[in-house]
Amino acid sequence: MFGYFDPLYMLILIPAILLSLVAQGLVSSAFARWSRVRNGAGLTGVQVAEYLIRNAGLQGVGLEGTPGVRTDHYDPASHTVRMSQDVASVPSVASMAVVAHELGHAQQHQERSVLIAMRNFLVPAMQISPTVSYMLILAGLLLNIAGLIELGIIFYGVVVVFMVLTLPVEFDASRRGLKMLRDTGLMQTTDDASGARSVLTAAALTYVAAAVTAILNLLYYISLANRRR
């Protein structure tokens, strides 16, 4: 939003967009492929979730539906996994992988993982930090008021910290999910193993792309502040 006429910003923006497009493309491709492959146990996403909750030592995890496509997520406030229709009702490898990942988050929450606790601590700040940072940086540029850009950079730093903390949280949730599938015997075929890893690896790349984009933006904002001095 600050660099339409700034060649440096375009040098940052174009790679960030390309990286995001590649990550989204890999997710769509992996999910489309493995959504057509039936998992070895022949269980829908809901059935996989119920089985893992019973057999993987998870306690009090709720299950709900959620509208949309690939909108599946774990809600730590209510200790609930919410599944989209194409995951909840389809007995595919992709559904099994997605549900296991979200239950990996539930396990993190149950075991009071330090990483997820740190990320959740930043959630309230994340609700205002992006907007406040953009407003402060823009005001600093337009009004040429000393310190506003630097203050905006500090607020944007919260965004970067959140994005970076998200990476190990997501990687760990996938690791936990795959382990639960193996330990409970749900990962029964080579397709189950390779497909689940493929889906979760592709999904993880979207978080990597988001973190890289946030870091590049932060570096650009710092360069703006340095050029204003």
Model-wide pTM > 0.95: no
Contact present, 91 and 42 (Cβ < 8 Å): yes
DSSP string of 151-194, one letter each residue: HHHHHHHHHHHHHHHHHHHHHHHHHHHHHHHHHTT---SHHHHH
Tell me the C-alpha distance between 42 and 96, whole Å.
Answer: 10
Nearest Cα residue to 27 out of 84, 64, 61, 70: 70
For residue 105, which phi and psi values (nearest 5 degrees)? -65, -40
Measuring CA to CA, how many Å separate 176 from each of 47, 81, 159, 192, 218?
A: 18, 15, 26, 15, 32
Tokens of 114: 């330090």
Mean pLDDT score across all residues of the chain: 92
Point out the residues that are catalytic. 102
pLDDT digits (tens, 9 = 90+) for 162-214: 999 999 999 999 999 999 999 999 999 999 999 999 999 999 999 999 999 99
In Å, how far are 94, 113, 178 from 34, measured between CA atoms?
Answer: 5, 30, 15
User: What are the tens digits of pLDDT across the range 50-101?
Assistant: 999 999 999 899 999 999 989 999 999 899 999 999 999 999 999 999 999 9
